Structure 1
Amino acid sequence: MHFDFAYFLSLFSLPAFWQASLTVVELSALSWVAGMLLGFPLALAKLSGKRWLTTPANLYIWFFRSVPLLVVIVFVFNLPQIFPASGMVLSNPFSAGFISLVVTEAAYMAEIHRGGLLSVARGQYEAGTALGIRALGLQRLVVIPQAFRIALPTLVNEFITCVKLTSLVSVISLTELLMVGQRLYAQNFLVLETLLAIAIYYVMIVTVFGWMLHHAERWLDLTRRRAGTLSDVELASLRDRPLSTPPAPAKSIAKNATKALRLANIHKRYGNHEVLKGIDLEVGIGEVISIIGPSGSGKTSLICTINALERIDAGEIDLFGDAYIKAGARPDSPLQRAGRNRIGMVFQSFNLFPHRTILDNVVMAPRYHHRGANEDLEQRAMALLDKVGMLAHAHKYPHQLSGGQQQRVAIARALAMEPDIMLFDEPTSALDPELVGDVLAVISDLAKDGMTMVIVTHEMNFAMSVSDRVVFMEAGIVRLAASPELIRISPEAERVRRFIGIESRFGANQADMVSPAI
Structure 2
Amino acid sequence: MHFDFSYFLSLFALPAFWQASVTVIELSTLSWALGLALGFPLASAKMSSRRWLAVPASIYIWFFRSVPLLVLVVFVYNLPQLIPSAGVALSHPFFSGLVALVLTETAYMAEIHRGGLLAVTKGQHEAGAALGFGPIGLHRLIVVPQAFRVALPTLINEFVTNVKLTSLVSVISLTELLMVGQRLYSQNFLVMETLSAIAIYYVLIVTVCGWLLNGFERRLDLSRRKPPTLDSAALAALLASLAIPVKRGARLPRDADATQRPPSGRGTPDALLLKDVHKRYGQHEVLKGIDLAVRPGEVVSIIGPSGSGKTSLIRTINALESIERGEIVLFGEAFITATDRPGNRRVRAGVSRIGMVFQSFNLFPHRTIVDNVALAPRYHRRGTRDETTARALTLLDKVGLLAHAYKYPHQLSGGQQQRVAIARALAMDPAVMLFDEPTSALDPELVGDVLNVIRDLANEGMTMLIVTHEMDFALSLSDRIVFMENGTVQFDGPPHAIDALPDTDRVRRFIGLERRDAGIAHDAVVA
Is the 1:70–1:168 contact (alpha carbons within 8 Å) kept by the matching residues of 2?
Answer: yes
Matched, 1:100 2:100: yes
Matched, 1:393 2:442: no
Tell me which amino acid in the other structure corresponds to 1:468. Answer: D
The residue type paired with residue 119 of structure 1 is A
User: Which of 412, 419, 443 is the equivalent residue of 2:423?
Assistant: 412
Partner Cα separation in structure 2 for residue 359 and residue 502 of structure 1: 40
* 1:92-241 mapped onto 2 (5 Å cutoff): 92-241=92-241
Map of 2:312 onto structure 1: 301
Q: Give, as a single letter, the amino acid of the residue that structure 2 aligns with 1:465.
A: S
2:342 aligns with one of 312, 325, 331: 331
Distance 1:111 1:219, change over 3 A: same
Within the candidate set 235, 256, 275, 2:286 is matched to: 275
**Counterpart pick for 2:444 among 408, 430, 433:** 433
CA contact (8 A) 1:267 1:274 kept: yes
* Residue number in structure 1 paired with 2:66: 66
C-alpha displacement of 1:331: 2.1
Deviation at 1:99, TM superposition (A): 0.7
Measure, in 2, the Cα distance between the counterparts of 1:378 and 1:492: 51
Superposition deviation, residue 489 in structure 1: 2.6
2:487 equivalent in structure 1: 476
CA spacing shift, 1:147–1:502, aligned 2, 3 Å: closer
Instruction: Give the alignment of 1:478-493 within 5 angstroms.
Output: 478-493=489-504
For the residue of structure 2 that corresponds to 1:195, the secondary structure is helix
Give the counterpart letter for 1:185 in structure 2. Answer: Y
AA matched with 1:6: S
Q: Does 1:341 align with 2:352?
A: yes
> Which residue of 1 is the match for residue 456 of structure 2?
445
Q: Which runs of 5+ in 2 are unaligned?
A: 245-252, 254-263, 515-527
CA contact (8 A) 1:243 1:380 kept: no
Q: Which residue of 1 aligns with 2:520?
A: none
Shift of 1:169: 0.3
Instruction: Name the amino acid aligned to 2:348.
Output: R
Partner of 2:518: none
Residue 52 of structure 1 corresponds to 52
Confirm whether residue 422 of structure 1 aligns to residue 449 of structure 2: no
Counterpart amino acid of residue 406 in structure 2: H
SS at match of 1:141: helix
Shift of 1:232: 1.6
- Residue type at the aligned position of 1:318: V
Counterpart CA distance in 1 for 2:417 and 2:88 is 58
Q: Which moved more, 1:322-331 or 1:120-129?
A: 322-331
Q: Is the 8 Å Cα contact of residues 302 and 481 (structure 2) preserved in structure 1?
A: yes
SS of 1:471's partner is: strand
Asked whether the equivalents of residues 243 and 379 of structure 1 are also in contact (C-alpha less than 8 Å), the reply is: no
Q: What is the CA deviation profile of residues 325-372 of structure 1, one whole-angstrom value per residue up to 9, with x for unaligned ones?
A: 010122221110111110000000000000000000000000000001
What residue ranges of structure 1 are gaps of 5+ in the alignment?
A: 246-252, 504-518
- Equivalents in 2 of 1:41, 1:254: separation in Å? 53
Counterparts of 2:224 and 2:265, CA distance in 1: 51
Report if the CA contact (8 A) 2:242-2:394 is conserved: no
- Do the aligned residues in 2 keep the contact of 1:254 with 1:321 (CA within 8 Å)? no
1:85 is aligned to 85
Partner AA of 1:407 in structure 2: Q
Shift of residue 254, structure 1, vs aligned partner: 13
For residues 237 and 20 of structure 2, what CA distance do their matches in structure 1 show? 58
Q: Return the alpha-carbon distance in structure 1 between the equivalents of residues 465 and 8 of structure 2.
A: 77
- Shift of residue 258 of structure 1? 2.9
Distance 1:215 1:331 in 2: 40
Residues 270 and 331 of structure 2 are in contact (CA less than 8 Å); yes or no, is this contact kept in structure 1?
A: yes
- In 1, distance between residues paired with 2:222 and 2:341? 38
The aligned amino acid for 1:494 is D
Q: Which residue of 1 aligns with 2:383?
A: 372
Match of 2:270 in 1: 259
CA distance in 2, matches of 1:242, 1:277: 49
Q: Give me the whole-angstrom Cα distance separating, in 2, the residues matched to 1:49 and 1:198.
A: 47
Q: Which one-letter code corresponds to 2:468 in the other structure?
A: T
Query: How many pairs were matched up?
Result: 496
1:85 to partner: Cα distance: 1.1
The CA deviation at 1:257 is 3.3
Matched AA of 1:124: Q
Does structure 2 conserve the Cα–Cα contact (< 8 Å) formed by 1:348 and 1:427?
A: yes
Matched residue of 1:194: which SS? helix
Q: How many percent identity over aligned positions?
A: 69
Task: Tell me how far apart the structure 1 counterparts of residues 377 and 217 of structure 2 sit (CA, whole Å).
Answer: 30
Aligned-partner SS, 2:241: coil
What is the deviation of 1:213? 1.1
Query: Which residue of 286, 289, 293 corresponds with 2:297?
Result: 286
Secondary structure, aligned partner of 1:501: helix
Contact 1:231–1:392 at 8 Å: present in 2 too? yes
Q: TM-score, normalized by length of structure 1?
A: 0.94
Q: 1-side partners of 2:52 and 2:20: how far apart?
A: 43
d(CA) in 1 for partners of 2:221, 2:241:
33
CA contact (8 A) 1:125 1:138 kept: yes
* 1:255 positional shift: 11
Report the AA paired with residue 48 of structure 1.
S
Which deviations, in whole Å up to 9, do the C-alpha atoms of 1:253-302 show, x marking residues without a partner?
99933310000111111111111111111101100000111111111111
Q: Distance in 2 between matches of 1:316 and 1:148?
A: 39
Mapped to 2, the partners of 1:65 and 1:270 lie a distance apart of 37
CA distance in 1, matches of 2:143, 2:499: 47
Equivalent residue number for residue 508 of structure 1: none
Q: Which amino acid aligns with 2:314?
A: I
In structure 2, what is the Cα distance between the partners aligned to 1:91 and 1:122? 48
- Rounded to whole Å, the distance in 1 between the matches of 2:303 and 2:92 is 70
SS in 1 for 2:110: helix
